[in-house]
Structure 1
């Protein structure tokens, strides 16, 4: 090992090495990135300016949207730049920072999904006690707890992953600095880090998955007791949309991270990671918030006021 030269830069391979394919990907993913950021920005803005969107549910959605914007900026700008310029190199500090932010923000997303599922459970199954249970203090503590638990659980193993020595190949077979692809380039044994990451991600993902499943199970049981057929249909329509996000998020993450060995199956891992880090982030604001009748009415009112102001100035 003394004769090996430390890695001074990593090369992120991406999804394809074909220039024309990369240009197509750049156009498509630029649109995806734009609509992801805009959709979440609209949710944040509406929840701040409209007095009808001041309930705990919209407080959680606003924080979730801010989190999703931050998460999108961790991966997409750098990836889009490499697609357009064909410059795939990244410095080790830049790679390590992306890895740390990906794990901390990504784990926080799972905590928020579990927290919002619990909020919906209280709202639907315990409506008379909702305002007392989900008061402003509890909501703030839950959001703060999501960030604190994310740092506590994911920062130590992710930080250990960036401390291992790299002195051999430097091509990361992924479209961002992923731990599995990165650890394969290490010139030392990383088995203990892989086990620690597996245990951390398993506890995180499966724990929130159980909370989400139990919450929606209770919600569906309560909905089935609604005497009105139209009421049941409306409630099921909302829950089915939320469950679609849950299925995409958890199925891709469980397959990707809840396994002992993170080595092998790089191409399929990239495909699964793409669903979690790109596709799910695009759908989330539109399914969780922008399909909501109150949000759509608030958006309509804001657009009408903006149009009236523009017409008045002209």
Structure 2
């Protein structure tokens, strides 16, 4: 953190929603309620898909891992937001900020690849149903989930190192509610053009490529569905894919706007709201999207409740 005559900064200030000074208590209650809903909703999906043997299929194996990732995703950012609402100072140490950014990128990148794995599972189930059990074996599913985590570990460590090796000077106030790359680059007192290029390059295999693979998978699925002679078969296939498509549209839509569009200081407030959307709102609604629109999940929940 030392560059020329620049001094070492002890940390940063997360401005968050400090402009709402008279509503910090209300924000605390809102964010706490959302956090509890995320933990309970996604925790129930993990719990039910483990206990019910009828849900021991590749589809629910990926869903279980996605719910676990959502819990990790929000746990990286929300506890600090809650603490800042109470303390109202927003301070975060240099090390904590770096750790928060790293784990946020790691979990976010893992979610991108898990969504690809789920798209692949749907594609095989609908387009090649006769080969489904041979293709989507337990071993293959475990490797896909493990790969989703492992491939992200070194890449995002490098991303975090590049950002936090920059000299920061002047204001140390981050116009955000957690340590994310775009607002941190705005605080650097050197040209961050190379860092922005690196962010774009990394986004290609970790955001754009997974998204394109999902699009290609659903084009194949759509062609197969249109060829189905049975209306009931088409409805069942569409029902299988609708929840996943909804999550993909919400997650990638907001994420691409934040990381791929040109940045300016005036766009930081917009990016902050979009980040709030994909870090909090989507994880909160995922359990409802997957359980309320899924008959097998609803049946498993009813069975569990009746046992209790």
Q: Name the counterpart of 2:142.
A: 140
Give yes or no for the alignment of 1:305 onto 2:307: yes
Name the Cα RMSD after superposition: 1.8
Work out which of the residue numbers 46, 54, 57 in structure 2 matches 1:44. 46
Q: For the Cα contact (< 8 Å) 2:243–2:293, is it kept in 1?
A: no
Shift of 1:271: 1.3
Query: Which is worse superposed, 242-251 or 103-112?
Result: 242-251
Query: Which is worse superposed, 96-105 or 166-175?
Result: 166-175
Taking the aligned partners of 1:21 and 1:206, their CA distance within structure 2 comes to 38
What TM-score, normalized to structure 2?
A: 0.93
Taking the aligned partners of 2:241 and 2:140, their CA distance within structure 1 comes to 24
Q: For the Cα contact (< 8 Å) 2:98–2:179, is it kept in 1?
A: yes
Residue ranges of structure 2 left out of the alignment (5+ in a row):
none
Work out which of the residue numbers 160, 163, 180 in structure 2 matches 1:161. 163
What TM-score, normalized to structure 1?
A: 0.91
Taking the aligned partners of 2:200 and 2:45, their CA distance within structure 1 comes to 34
Q: Secondary structure at the match of 2:151?
A: helix
Taking the aligned partners of 1:275 and 1:82, their CA distance within structure 2 comes to 19
Q: For the Cα contact (< 8 Å) 1:180–1:263, is it kept in 2?
A: no
Shift of 1:242: 2.5
Work out which of the residue numbers 8, 19, 27 in structure 1 matches 2:10. 8
Work out which of the residue numbers 81, 85, 98 in structure 1 matches 2:83. 81
- Relative to structure 1, is the Cα distance of residues 237 and 139 closer, same or farther in structure 2, using a 3 angstrom cutoff? closer
Shift of 1:263: 5.5
Taking the aligned partners of 1:152 and 1:200, their CA distance within structure 2 comes to 12
Q: Secondary structure at the match of 2:13?
A: strand
Q: Name the counterpart of 2:117.
A: 115
Give yes or no for the alignment of 1:288 onto 2:290: yes
Q: Name the counterpart of 1:124.
A: 126
Shift of 1:3: 4.0
Work out which of the residue numbers 221, 225, 228 in structure 1 matches 2:223. 221
Shift of 1:38: 1.0
Query: Which is worse superposed, 275-284 or 206-215?
Result: 275-284
Shift of 1:216: 1.6
How many positions carry a matched residue from both structures? 306
Taking the aligned partners of 1:212 and 1:165, their CA distance within structure 2 comes to 39
Taking the aligned partners of 1:279 and 1:104, their CA distance within structure 2 comes to 19
Q: Secondary structure at the match of 1:265?
A: helix
Q: Name the counterpart of 1:239.
A: 241
Taking the aligned partners of 1:262 and 1:93, their CA distance within structure 2 comes to 26
Shift of 1:183: 1.7
Shift of 1:259: 3.7
Describe the superposition over 1:247-278 as per-residue Cα deviations: whole angstroms up to 9, x where unpaired: 11111111111246575510111111111111
Describe the superposition over 1:265-299 as per-residue Cα deviations: whole angstroms up to 9, x where unpaired: 10111111111111111122322345321111111
Shift of 1:85: 2.8
Q: For the Cα contact (< 8 Å) 1:198–1:260, is it kept in 2?
A: no
Query: Which is worse superposed, 89-98 or 224-233?
Result: 224-233
